[in-house]
Amino acid sequence: MNLNEKLSLAILPTPIRKLENLSKEYGFDLYVKMDDLTHFLASGNKIRKLEYLLKDAKDKNSDIVFTCGGVQSNHCRATAVLSKSLGMQPVLFLRGSKPEIFNGNLLIDMLIGSEIVYVTPEQYKNIDEIFKEYSKKYESEGKKVYIIPEGGSNSLGALGYVNAVFELDKQVDLDQFDAVCCALGSGGTVAGLIAGLNLVDKPCRVIGFNVTKTDKDEFTEKIFKLLNGMSEFDVDLKLEKVRMEVIDDFSGPAYAVPTFEDLELIKHVAELETLILDPVYTSKALRGTIETFKNSGKKVIFIHTGGTFGLFAQAEKITQIMR
Ligand SMILES: *Cc1c(COP(=O)(O)O)cnc(C)c1O
Q: Same domain for 164 and 144?
A: no
CA atoms of 66 and 80, how far apart (whole Å): 9
- For ligand 1, whether the C-beta of 153 sits within 6 Å is yes
Q: Same domain for 304 and 185?
A: yes
Q: Ligand 1 atom 12: the closest Cα is on which residue? A: 305
Q: Ligand 1 atom 4: the closest Cα is on which residue? A: 185
Q: Same domain for 24 and 169?
A: yes
Q: Same domain for 138 and 180?
A: no
Domain containing 126 equals: 46-152
Q: Same domain for 126 and 252?
A: no
The residue from 90, 117, 152 where one domain ends is 152
Kindly give the residue spans of alpha helices, DSSP state H, lying in 72-207: 74-85, 104-111, 121-124, 127-139, 155-171, 188-200
Q: Which residues of the chain have pLDDT under 50?
A: none
* DSSP character string of 123-154: HHTTHHHHHHHHHHHHHTTT--EEE--GGG-S
pLDDT of residue 323: 86
- Tell me if 300 sits within 8 A of 30, measured CB to CB: yes
- Total of domains in the chain: 2
Looking at the domain assignment, is residue 1 inside a domain? no
Q: How far is the CA of 323 from the centre of ligand 1 (A)?
A: 30
* pTM as predicted: 0.98
> What confidence tens digit (pLDDT) does each residue in 10-19 have?
999 999 999 9
The residue from 115, 137, 152 where one domain ends is 152
Looking at the domain assignment, is residue 4 inside a domain? no
Which ligand 1 atom is the nearest neighbour of the CA of 182?
A: 10
- Active-site residue, 73 included: yes
> What confidence tens digit (pLDDT) does each residue in 253-300 have?
999 999 999 999 999 999 999 999 999 999 999 999 999 999 999 999
HSE (CB half, 13 Å, CA atoms) of 113?
Answer: 7
